[in-house]
Amino acid sequence: MRQGLNQGRDDANRKRTIILNTIIIFSFVVVFFRLADIMVLKNKFYSEKASSQQVKTEDIQARRGNIYDRKGREVAINLELESLYCDPEEAHANADTVRKLSSILNTEPKAIKAKLSQDRRFVWVDRKLPLDTAERVRKLNVQGFGFMPEAKRFYPRGTLASHIIGAVGGENQPLEGIELQYDRYLRISGGKVKVARDASGRVLSTGMNMEAKGNDVILTIDEGLQYIVEKELDKAMATWRAVAATAIMMDPFTGEILALANRPTYDLNDISGANRHEVRNRAITDIYEPGSTFKIVVGSAALEEKLFPKGQTFDCSRGSIEVGGKNVRDAHKHGVLTFEEVIQKSSNVGSIMIGMRLGKDRIYEYAKRLGFGDKTDLDLPGEVSGWIRKPDRWSATSLGAIPIGQEVAVTPLQVLRAYAAIANGGYLVQPHVVAEIRTPDGQPVFSFQEGKKKRALSERTAATMRDILKTVVEEGGTATGAAIQGNKVAGKTGTAQLIDPRTKRYSKDRFIGSFVGFVPADKPRLAMIVVINEPKGQIYGGVVAAPVFKNVADQALSYLNIPMDESPAKNMLLVKQ
Amino acid sequence: MRRTRKNSIFSLMSKPVCVVLLLVSVFGLVWLRSSVTSAAYTIRELEDKRSAELKEMKTLLAERSRLMALQNIELPGQSYSGGEKKLVSGGYVFPDRVKVIHVQRAKGTDVYRASYQPGEQR
């Protein structure tokens, strides 16, 4: 009986075991099929769903490269700001929140309400907010609002060197200057990167640099020299109540532009508030008749061609000369002048006499040799070539006009380059404003390489012209106002009449006064041109422009620590063993 | 072959030890993976902090650069006396070249001596 009882228990246990096993196996089969369904049949659906939950796409922030002056001072950098956006469908901002937002963003509440009522999923509320403002908005913790990092171009020096640096627009698109000319180096594309995130939105590190930066541009400009030039140009503008003014300072041997300024000017941080008149880089985009500064063309040509023996004189006592039926006068009657005195006293009559002896073909040839009528290929946008007509298109009066700087159109930079050729021994240099371009980690990408030097004048002619131009600044010359203590200055004044747009003739009250020269005259370190457009009260280049040259050169020589011409032992603290 | 007492204890212990080691390894791997993930989150948080600090640093550098501009250095030093603008101490003043003293470096390592005139007796 006991054995029968045990047999019955065993049967029951076996049944339970079979049922349990069946349930377990069935469950596994169910799980297997479900897994097969999820992993094989609906693989794509679930993997996409998982990916949308776990993976987030982030932008790699693209930042423009910085721009530095020749000594590494920042002149264009990026500010990291934040832009506020909202999703009007998700946004829940009550009247109080809108009022607080408008107070922080300094806008009208109705403007914010208008943005919140738009039928879109993404609306900019305010862009490029300073970090502290963004933090105040963030503390409000408004649902449906978010921030996106954005960079804003910032020019720490404001108006300084504005016509060189240029500016970018609201979307960081290049508009002017270096920003436009070297955009391909400064700009970089950002791209996107996928990052993993958890259910609470926390993001895993990718180990990647989430910011891409463009190349840095190093200019030839020196902030100190640029400041000196702009300060003195402002003074001249105020003194002469001029319409406009331009000054360019260049290393006459290398063509490096050390400073370039125009007036009127504009604030780089507020280009939207500037008009075309202010933004224009007059140094390379505006042409004018150079007047007497052009007399170096006939002077150099005559020397190069050895036309006149030493001691040759020119009878300018009449004070006028007739060419093609047109009478050209000197500002004052000079009497009999030597070749050197013609340039020193800036005699129109004497210059025309030299020009007539040269003939139009040689005048044209030497004007072209000195770079007139051609672009200098300065690395800034908008340069014009100016013009000088070919000899076969000269009129009967041209031979009485071109030698004295009329009937030709030049830019201030072209005139400066021609004088730099006299300063450096006869070579036409390549003006440039960019010295080097480097990657963010300092590797050079581009550096200015001077091409084969183009000789415009012989060394002897250049040396003679230097001596003659020194006399212009000495007693008896037209530019005594450009003389500085301790160093010889060489240069030439120019006073040109502007064309009256109403009468189409030379105006009697609108002039351009200019002075172009270099210093120290015997070992030139700086070549500079100053052009004052429509000064009031005085018109002569020797009065309105030469003092600007003097003031700038005086400070610039101090700034660059260039010694005086006289014996180094004099007034010098000698240190010896 | 005779089974020793030592061998029997070893064979008795080996299975549980293996099971324990297996479990420890499995949980260790899980722990390690979660630690790596949590370290990645921490690194990301630090990266975000660094990014915020860099943003602030860029702002401060921009401000420093603005303040260091020559026009800002010179302006505080200007004063007007008798209707004429003059530079006073505190601003940036360009040296007067007439009063500039040039110093020539002497060769060698000897002690430098200075003179206002060459050959001046001291």
Q: ipTM > 0.85?
A: no
Q: Where in chain A is the domain with CATH 3.90.1310.10?
A: 58-219
pTM for the model: 0.83
Collapsing DSSP to helix, strand or coil, A568 comes out as coil
How does the average pLDDT of chain B come out, rounded?
Answer: 73
How does the average pLDDT of chain A come out, rounded?
Answer: 91
- Decide which of A475 and A501 is more confident: A475
Q: Return the amino acid letter for A391.
A: P
> Is some CB atom of chain B closer than 8 A to the CB atom of A72?
no
Is B121 among the domain residues?
A: no
- Decide which of A138 and A412 is more confident: A412
Flag whether pLDDT at A372 surpasses 60. Answer: yes
**Strand (E) or helix (H) holding A84:** strand A74-86
Is B54 among the domain residues?
A: yes
Is B49 among the domain residues?
A: yes
- Inspect the interface and report whether the beta carbons of B104 and A574 lie closer than 8 Å: yes
Lowest-confidence range among A1-5, A334-338, A367-371, A549-553?
A: A1-5
Flag whether pLDDT at A576 surpasses 50. Answer: no
Domain A58-219 sits in CATH at 3.90.1310.10
Is B114 among the domain residues?
A: no
- The fold of A223-559 is Beta-lactamase (3.40.710)
pLDDT digits (tens, 9 = 90+) for A142-195: 888 888 888 899 999 999 999 999 999 888 899 999 999 999 999 998 888 888
Confidence of residue B122 (pLDDT cuts 50, 70, 90): very low
Is B18 among the domain residues?
A: yes
Dump the DSSP string for A142-193: -TTEEEEEEEEEE-TTTTTTHHHH--B-TTS-B-SHHHHHTHHHH-----EE
Which of A506, A520, A512 has the alpha carbon at shortest distance from A553?
A520
Q: Judge whether A334 and A316 are in contact, CB under 8 Å.
A: yes
Flag whether pLDDT at B61 surpasses 70. Answer: yes
pLDDT digits (tens, 9 = 90+) for A419-446: 999 999 999 999 999 999 999 999 999 9
- Decide which of A569 and A259 is more confident: A259
Residue to substitute from A484, A485, A577, interface B, most B β-carbons within 10 A: A577
Q: What pLDDT does residue A574 have?
A: 47
Residue to substitute from B34, B41, B92, interface A, most A β-carbons within 10 A: B41
Q: How many domains does chain B have?
A: 1
- Inspect the interface and report whether the beta carbons of A569 and B56 lie closer than 8 Å: no
| pLDDT average, residue stretch A392-401 | 94
Annotate A524-544 with b (16+ C-beta within 10 A) or e (fewer).
Answer: bbbbbbbbbbbbeeebbbbbb
pLDDT digits (tens, 9 = 90+) for B77-118: 555 555 555 554 445 566 666 665 656 555 555 555 444 434
Alpha carbons A24 and A43: distance in angstroms, whole number: 26
| pLDDT average, residue stretch A539-560 | 93
Strand partners, A575: B114
Nearest to B108 among A79, A558, A577 (CB): A577
CB pairs under 8 A between A and B: 120
* Angle CA A437–A439–A444, to nearest 5: 55
Residue whose token pair is 């050729």: A421
Q: What pLDDT does residue A41 have?
A: 92
Alpha carbons A328 and A316: distance in angstroms, whole number: 12
| pLDDT average, residue stretch A239-250 | 96
Confidence of residue A468 (pLDDT cuts 50, 70, 90): very high
- Inspect the interface and report whether the beta carbons of A568 and B102 lie closer than 8 Å: yes
Alpha carbons A144 and A122: distance in angstroms, whole number: 10
Q: Judge whether A491 and A549 are in contact, CB under 8 Å.
A: yes
- Inspect the interface and report whether the beta carbons of B95 and A486 lie closer than 8 Å: no
Q: What pLDDT does residue A267 have?
A: 94
Confidence of residue A57 (pLDDT cuts 50, 70, 90): confident
Q: Give residue B33's domain range.
A: 5-99
Q: Where in chain A is the domain with CATH 3.40.710.10?
A: 223-559
Is B15 among the domain residues?
A: yes
Is B45 among the domain residues?
A: yes
Instruction: Copy the structure tokens of residue A400.
Output: 């009485």
Is B105 among the domain residues?
A: no
pLDDT digits (tens, 9 = 90+) for A292-325: 999 999 999 999 999 988 889 999 999 999 998 8
> Is some CB atom of chain A closer than 8 A to the CB atom of B114?
yes
- Inspect the interface and report whether the beta carbons of A575 and B95 lie closer than 8 Å: no
Nearest to A131 among B55, B61, B95 (CB): B55
